[in-house]
Amino acid sequence: MPLFHFSEDPDIEVFEPRLMPARPEITAPLVWGIEEAHQCM
């Protein structure tokens, strides 16, 4: 399944996983993605 990640920064070459301070219950770094059926661009 192809996954997509959208960003306002066109210079990102690699999406680095990171923690989410607003979601302390998530303890592993993540990169958020979306599948083709839900992408709107």
Q: What whole-number distance in Å separates Cα of residue 7 and Cα of residue 16?
A: 12
pLDDT tens readout for residues 1-41: 676 767 788 888 887 888 989 999 999 998 877 777 777 75
Closest CA to 31 of 19, 21, 17: 17
- 14-38 per-residue burial string, b: 16 or more CB within 10 A, e: under 16: eeeeeeeeeeeeeeeeeeeeeeeee
Q: What whole-number distance in Å separates Cα of residue 39 and Cα of residue 2?
A: 11
Q: What is the pLDDT of residue 3?
A: 66
Amino acid at 32: W
